[in-house]
Every structure is written in structure tokens, then in C-alpha cells.
Amino acid sequence: MSVSSSEKIKRFAVIGHPIAHSKSPSIHSTFAQLTGVQLSYETLEAPVDDFKGTIDQLQKAGWDGCNVTVPFKEQAWQIADERSLFAGRAGAANTLVFRDDGSIYADNTDGSGLVRDLQHNLQVELKNKRILLLGAGGAVRGVLEPLLAEKPAALFIANRTAAKALALAEDFAGAGVISGGGFGDIEGEFDLIINGTAASLQGELPPLPDDCLAEGGACYDMMYATATQSTAFMLWGEQHSAGLVADGMGMLVEQAADAFNVWHGIRPETLTVLAGLREGIVS
């Protein structure tokens, strides 16, 4: 039986270096089962110095799009012909669409995934709240615009290298509520503290004042914890009586759901996948 173009199985990949341990293929395969969408989704390790060559090959072979992760998100942004508002402001893209006319559309769903996890899954309000964002690298830049779009009362970026936090705050200054500095410049209490530094990867903790978390406030680590071990920042939250402590597993699943929606026009239900990841059924 011949396969008509409407029944063609769409092909996707997540591209990074390294990439072997990515959970994205399992997540997207589960979304496909839940929604009835036909797709294939695999991991692809691009050479560090030839991301563009890898993309060219995929386009020539008729693939439909890809997710992009470290260290290629900025290059993914650069090669795009058109970008979503969030990708445009992030200076980085995690989702590419290969269009039939050969052009590339770029989106960045990291920030929308974070906001969705906070507001929808965890019931953490952002509007009129005081948010402290730790770190000033690509991960933080990628989520700033979606966070600001929720109209917090204040957003302070604190970073080990204060100049980078100041420059980032300056870049997004239009929204008015944003400012930045070093960890020593953190003043007052915050309703939500988000850790976007790479410190958790090394089991380290940014030096935070003991009194910077408001009573009942939330601590969110963009890194994810293992089944048995919280990150150093999550432990800090527990020791400082946080009302809620969470890792970035929900952000991972929600950014994937937003990417799925960009490609297929359907936003899958996410709690099944999130529970599966937590229980080790989806890996």
C-alpha cells in the first residue's frame, strides 16, 4: 500500500553534544501515543564544529524539525529565517521547524515551559510577585521574556559575575520591574526564587542571604534532581521553610509539550509523562 503525504510519518530529533542521555525521545514518543500523532523522534549528536552541516543534511533528507540543546541553541537561533517573539528575545532556540519551502522557523519553549510548570502544575502565582532569578547565562536569558510577560512586581537577577546580571537586566529593561547585581546585592524578601545557575551540576549552592525567601515562598531549580537526591538549592529551600520546593522536571516536560504543539498543532496532556519520569517508567 502506498503512503499518501498526509499519512507520512514525520521525523524529528533532538540535537546536542553530548546527547545520549536525553529524555526527549521518550517524552515525545509518549506524547505521540497519547495524541495519536505518527512520528519518529531520535537523538542526534552533531559535531561541535558543524551544527549547520547536520541541519542541512536533515533538511535535504526531508526531516520535519528538531529540538536543539547544549551547546547549539544560539546557533539554532542564528540559522533561522523567522523566529517567535520568545526565541527572538532569548537569542537562542530549542525548537526548529523545517518548512516545505526550505526555510527554518525557530521557537524557544524553555520559558513558556517553566511558566506553565510553575502556574499550572505547581500553582505558583507570578503576577505581582517578587521573583529572584539566580544566574545570568543562556538558561536564564531564555526564560526572561516569558517570566516578564506574567507581570511580576519585581524581578531581580543575581549572578556570581555581577556585570553579567546587570547587562542582562539592562537588555530587558523595557519592562521596568527588572534589575540585577551580585549575590551580595540581594535585598528584601522574594515570593519565588528560581535557580538558573549551573552550580547544581557541581553540587554547589549560590551564596544566598538567609532572609531572602518570603514566608511560604517557593524555590524552583531549573536543573532536575534524581529520584533519591534533591539539588543543593532544593535542600536550601527545605532548610529555609519554603512553602514549595521543585526541580526542573516539569519544565522539561512542559517545554517538550510546547514544542510538540509547534510541530503538530496539538498540546498533549503532560501529567502522564511527568508521573512516568518520576516513577522511572518513562526514562
Active-site annotation, residues: 73
Judge whether 84 is annotated as a binding position.
no
Cβ of residue 221: shortest distance to ligand ATR, in angstroms? Answer: 12
Cβ of residue 205: shortest distance to ligand ATR, in angstroms? Answer: 7
Place of cell 546585592: 185
Cβ of residue 196: shortest distance to ligand ATR, in angstroms? Answer: 6
Which long-range contacts link 69-76 to residues 24+ away (Cβ below 8 Å)? 69/14, 69/15, 69/16, 69/19, 69/22, 69/94, 70/16, 70/17, 71/16, 71/17, 72/15, 72/16, 72/17, 72/46, 73/108, 73/138, 73/142, 74/138, 75/51, 76/51, 76/106
The rounded distance, in Å, linking the Cα atoms of 192 and 244 is 9
Judge whether 163 is annotated as a binding position.
yes
Q: Where along the sequence are the contacts to ligand ATR (CB under 6 A)?
A: 135-139, 159-161, 164, 197-199, 202, 204, 206
Judge whether 69 is annotated as a binding position.
yes
The rounded distance, in Å, linking the Cα atoms of 46 and 126 is 37
Cβ of residue 262: shortest distance to ligand ATR, in angstroms? Answer: 21
Helices (H) and strands (E) in the chain, counts: 10, 12
Judge whether 23 is annotated as a binding position.
yes
The rounded distance, in Å, linking the Cα atoms of 283 and 281 is 6
Judge whether 81 is annotated as a binding position.
no
Q: Using CB atoms, what's the residue nearest to ligand ATR?
A: 137
Burial class (CB in 10 A: 0-12, 13-18, 19+), 165: buried
Q: Which of 135, 248 has the CB closer to ligand ATR?
A: 135
Q: Which of 25, 91 has the CB closer to ligand ATR?
A: 91
Q: Which of 183, 272 has the CB closer to ligand ATR?
A: 183
Q: Which of 180, 268 has the CB closer to ligand ATR?
A: 180
| Binding-site residues from annotation | 22-24, 69, 94, 110, 135-139, 159-164, 222, 224, 248, 255
| Binding-site residues from annotation for NADP(+) | 135-139, 159-164, 222, 248
